[in-house]
Copies of this chain bind each other. A is one copy, B any other.
Amino acid sequence: MPATVQTKDYGTVVRERHSVRHYDPSVTIPRDELKEMLAEASLAPSSSNTQTWRFLVIDDPEAKQRLLPIANNQKQVVEAAATIAVLGDLNGYKEIGRINDMAVKAGYMPEDFAKQFTENSLKLYASLPPEKMRSIVQIDGGLVSMQFMLTAKSRGYDTVPMGGFNPQKLVEEFSIPDHLVPIMLIAVGKAATPGRLTARLPIDDITFWNSLNKS
């Protein structure tokens, strides 16, 4: 587990996180710090703890230039310190045995339980239709992406999630194998201009109590 870093109050982090589109291009983030942030993000929960998220970090100037047209020329991908392509591994469930073994070694899980859990999980995931597996990695990819954006903010960095990119071109340009599904791009760095504030739908309009019929 990553070392604890003293950070801001949770409620402040959530309220201060805004999508930032203009970055200070002089700011870089050391790879060790990016790794710490990704490891903290990876403490997110996932389907049977399969952790199917994979991170392609684009922090090299030449690779950023290749990413630029793929990301609809949004200049944050060249100006931010890095852009993380969050990918979902459709074969990631095959790591479940290794993950459960780690849990046994750490004393988190009894050995018999782990063995049975691994066996059942491998059987279950192997039997899922491809679109169900895709849904799982997308939802879990959303979980880890949110935690990454908050973690970055808690350390004084800004982010913007981007769905506006060409996934086919990303796959081609970066030779991404078929089993890795692009989920989103997240630019991370220091804001040059603060993010725009945004409005939210009234919570009563999107919340239903025990029935979808508004009473």
A127 → chain B closest CB, angstroms = 14
Identity of the chain B residue whose Cβ is nearest the Cβ of A181 in the assembled complex:
B135
Identity of the chain B residue whose Cβ is nearest the Cβ of A52 in the assembled complex:
B206
A203 → chain B closest CB, angstroms = 4
A79 CB–B CB distance under 8 Å: no
A98 → chain B closest CB, angstroms = 8
Which of B12, B38, B58, B103 meets A199, CB within 8 Å? B103
Number of copies: 2
A43 with B196: in contact, given A4-B15, A54-B208, A143-B142 (CB under 8 Å)? no
A123 to B38, CA, bound (A): 35
* Residue of A43, A98, A109, A143 most packed against chain B (CB within 10 A): A143
- The interface on chain A, measured as residues whose beta carbon lies within 8 A of the other chain's beta carbons, has a size of 89
Which of B11, B31, B43 meets A4, CB within 8 Å? B11
* Residue of A60, A100, A142 most packed against chain B (CB within 10 A): A142
Identity of the chain B residue whose Cβ is nearest the Cβ of A34 in the assembled complex:
B207
A14 with B51: in contact, given A138-B142, A197-B108 (CB under 8 Å)? no
A184 with B13: in contact, given A42-B203, A200-B42 (CB under 8 Å)? no
Residues of B within 8 A of A7 (CB): 9-11
A22 to B105, CA, bound (A): 24
A126 to B73, CA, bound (A): 23
Residues of B within 8 A of A116 (CB): none
A39 → chain B closest CB, angstroms = 4
Residues of B within 8 A of A63 (CB): 210-211
A207 to B13, CA, bound (A): 25
9 additional A-B pairs beyond A14-B43, A14-B147, A54-B208, beta carbons within 8 Å, are A6-B11, A17-B43, A19-B45, A44-B146, A134-B135, A138-B138, A142-B145, A142-B146, A175-B212
- List, sorted by A's number, 14 A–B pairs whose CB atoms are closer than 8 Å: A1-B200, A4-B15, A35-B207, A53-B206, A54-B208, A56-B208, A63-B211, A138-B139, A139-B139, A139-B142, A139-B184, A142-B142, A147-B150, A174-B212
